[in-house]
Amino acid sequence: MSNPADVPAPSPSATGGPAAEPLGVALFGLGTVGGGVAERLLRHPQTLTAGRPLSLKHAVVRDVAKNRGIDLPAGVLHDDMRRAVDDPAVAIGVELIGGIPQAFELCRDLLRAGKHVVTANKALICERGPELFALAAEHGRMIRYEAAVAGGVPIVAGLTESLAANRITGIRAILNGTSNFLLSRMADTGASYADALAEAQKRGYAEADPSMDVDGTDAAQKLVILSRLAFGAEVTFADVSMGGIDVLDAEDLSFAEELGCAVKLLAVAKRTERGLELSVRPTLVRRTDAVANINGPMNVVAVRGDLVGDAWFAGPGAGREPTASAVLADLLSIAAARPPFRPRQPDSPLRPVPADELFSRFYLRFRVVDRPHVFAALADILGSSGISLASIIQHAGPEADDNADPSVVSVVVMTHRTSGARLRAAAERWAKLESLRGEPVVMLVAD
């Protein structure tokens, strides 16, 4: 937390006095987001009017010869990180280099040098945030990270400022635009996962290596950050029960539609009597639920508070302008001397609930050889594992695939509420079935 004496005072010009001395800004990284921030600072400074004005002093990059399409003042662009960190004219360092080790060292050095820090680095805040927050408090400086979660959606400020008076009981969110775009395309067009991914990459919605987006890692890191703020809980990435969408195909989206649902990579944090439940998993959401209708690369965060009820925050979760908007908002907050983000203090310590102790309804899709007694064997495994069946759907193999084995069929089992432990026990047994083809698909079913 910041020492108020060390936070820049609002501009005297707001009350008719002389203009305040600008706050120097150093950008570390001038890629997609950094370029958007630099462009706004240089070309549209009149829109950045909260508190003291901002002045871009450094743009530190690895390759100074690369054409970035931005005209920077002489001497601003260079590759000397230390020069920017040590410059007494710099009040705020903006970390946009990504990763964890180098980014952590940079933020640490900035704080030790008496600079405030703004970052868009979710992995850094998830893994090393507590260390940086302690260091910021020690040096009377702020570290702000609105852009680390949900891009242009102001959820960090929403939790710590707008909803500060509320006791938060739950969060449901779509926090990864890549996964949401893929699921939307698969559902709308019947495209395969591979074809939807190729389109997403072509349109700039997916990285060349999308693994962290589609396996749940990206959303889980963001959920950890939100959970610390919303519940004051000491949670880590390992506390999140996680699964990805890369195991799904168009057939699963078709089954979901038949069941009146959409599939979303849903991030959930829920306060319960047993502790804090945390999960990021592909989930069937009823079409009547507003979350089911958030499509394409959009993000949404639904927060439940004891005073406000359900509050919704939605918008673009990534991209040059939305993420730059969040970074600039943090810069303006520092310029206006707004207090730093502070997590809530829990009523009592909140224990993360282990994955085996999480309860849910489940969607289970099996590909099995169509022969007598196969379903009976599956039903026996589930029943003897303490899992009650709610409904069953059986479809033949895809007719459009000339190479498909017509003797292989898809069987979908919808369960009643059961625990992760029971499902894991059943999975160990069904894996031994000779009639099973491939890995079954497991999804949660939202309440």
Residue 217, SS3 per DSSP: helix
Q: Is 339 domain-assigned?
A: no
397-410 pLDDT, tens digit per residue, is 554 455 555 688 99
- In this prediction, residue 13 has a pLDDT band, given cuts at 50, 70 and 90, of very low
Q: Is 341 domain-assigned?
A: no
Report, as an integer, the average pLDDT of 289-316.
96
List the one residue out of 146, 202, 179 whose CA is nearest residue 324.
146
Residues 162 and 291 in one domain: yes
Considering Cα of 169, then 271, then 293, then 120, what sign does the dihedral take? positive
- For residues 157 and 78, what is the distance between their CA atoms, to the nearest angstrom? 33
**Backbone region of residue 114 per phi and psi (left: phi > 0; alpha: psi in -120 to 50; beta: other values):** left
Residues 134 and 234 in one domain: no
Structure tokens at 329: 């908002």
Q: Considering only residues 437 and 50, tell me which one the structure prediction assigns the higher pLDDT.
A: 437
List the one residue out of 8, 69, 2 whose CA is nearest residue 39.
69
> Cα dihedral angle (185, 190, 195, 199), rounded to 10 degrees?
-30
Angle (nearest 5°) at CA 257 between 213 and 153: 40
Active site amino acids: 222
HSE of 175 in the Cβ direction (CA atoms, 13 Å)? 33
Q: What does 21-59 look like in DSSP terms, one character per residue?
A: PPEEEEEE--SHHHHHHHHHHHH-GGG--SSS-EEEEEE
Residue 372 has a pLDDT of 82
Annotated binding residues, as ranges?
122, 207
Residues 141 and 164 in one domain: no
**CATH for 82:** 3.40.50.720
Asked if 227 and 219 touch (Cβ cutoff 8 Å), the reply is no
Q: Is 326 domain-assigned?
A: no
Could you say which of 148, 169, 185 is where a domain stops?
Answer: 148
What is the total residue count of the chain? 447
32-44 pLDDT, tens digit per residue, is 999 999 999 998 7
- In this prediction, residue 102 has a pLDDT band, given cuts at 50, 70 and 90, of very high
Residues 8 and 49 in one domain: yes
Q: Is 60 domain-assigned?
A: yes
**CATH for 431:** 3.30.70.260
Residues 283 and 222 in one domain: yes
Residue 318 has a pLDDT of 84
Q: Is 109 domain-assigned?
A: yes
Least confident interval from 235-249, 345-359, 415-429: 345-359
Residues 171 and 309 in one domain: yes
Could you say which of 315, 339, 372 is where a domain stops?
Answer: 315
Residues 280 and 366 in one domain: no
Q: Is 80 domain-assigned?
A: yes
Could you say which of 90, 115, 148 is where a domain stops?
Answer: 148
Residue 405 has a pLDDT of 59
Backbone phi, psi, residue 289, to 5°? -85, 130
Give strand pairing partners of 171: 269, 303
- Domains of the chain: total: 3
Annotated binding residues for NADPH, as ranges?
122
Residue 7 has a pLDDT of 45
Report, as an integer, the average pLDDT of 217-233.
96
318 exposure class (CB count in 10 Å sphere: 0-12, 13-18, 19+): buried
Domain of 310? 155-315
Q: Is 190 domain-assigned?
A: yes
Tokens 């079935």, residue? 433
Q: What does 290-310 look like in DSSP terms, one character per residue?
A: GGGG--TTEEEEEEEETTTEE
- Other CB atoms within a 10 A radius of the CB of residue 280 amount to 29
